[in-house]
Amino acid sequence: MEQEINMSLRKFLKQVGVTSQQAIEEAVRAAGGLDGEVQAKVVLTIEELGLTHTVDGTIGPDKKS
């Protein structure tokens, strides 16, 4: 059973990653690009488990050394 949950979880997270990247890329294009960094936040909620998980980060152009 744990393996079935693991595969389902991986499938869900892959969908989240792919669709989130597409949405961000579309928003960046609509904004005419990014001049600098923007703050991003993802909130994962599973009400039945009482789970709320937040990830904060920064999106922007890669900095060259």
Average pLDDT per block of 10 residues along the chain, 65 residues long = 90 97 97 94 98 97 70
Residue 61 has a pLDDT of 84
Residue identified by tokens 């890669």 is 62
Check residue 64 and give its pLDDT: 67
- The sign of the torsion formed by the CA atoms of 64, 16, 55, 35 equals positive
Nearest to 49 by CA among 7, 10, 5, 1: 5
pTM above 0.95, yes or no: no
DSSP 32: T
Residue 1 confidence (pLDDT): 75
For residue 62, the model assigns a pLDDT of 78
